Amino acid sequence: MTGVFPDEVVDGWDARPGTVVCPCEGVTVDALRDAVGEGAQTPEDLRRMTRCGAGECGARRCEGAMLRWLAGALERPIGRFALPPMYPPARPVPIAALAALPHLDGG
C-alpha cells in the first residue's frame, strides 16, 4: 500500500474476539490472530491462510479493516505493506455476446 497511507503511522484496530472482518467468507478477527501466530506477515498471507478478502466482493468490504488490524498486530505502518493483487470479479458471459464480437483476425 505504498503511497496510499503515511509510511510511518501505525494505525491499529483492537477488535473484540469474534468480530467478523470479512462478511463474504465469515472470517473473524480470531482467525486473523491465529494466522499471524502461524507466521502471516502480509495481507496476501492472510488471504491465503484465512480467505479474508477472497470472497465475492474481492476484498472491497474488508480490506481496510484487515489492513488496519494487521498493521496494529504487527506494529507496522499500513503504508509499508505491498499492494495486494487485484482480482476482477468473475461473471458469466453469454455465448451470444461472444459470438457478436467483431473478428480480431481481420477476416
End-to-end Cα distance, the chain: 45
> Residue 20, Cβ neighbours under 10 Å: how many?
15
DSSP string over 29-97: HHHHHHHHHTT--SHHHHHHHH-TT-STTTTTTTHHHHHHHHHHHHT--GGGSPPPPP-PPP----HHH
Looking at residue 12, what is its pLDDT? 78
Dist. CA 93–CA 61, nearest whole Å: 25
What's the pTM value of the predicted model, to 2 decimals?
Answer: 0.71
What distance lies between CA 99 and its chain's CA centroid? 35
Task: Using the structure block, give the residue that is written with the C-alpha cell 457478436.
Answer: 100
Q: For residue range 29-85, what is the model confidence (pLDDT) as tens digits?
A: 999 999 999 999 999 999 999 999 999 888 889 998 999 999 999 999 888 888 767
- Residues of the domain holding 23: 1-107
Looking at residue 60, what is its pLDDT? 87
- Structural domain count of the chain: 1
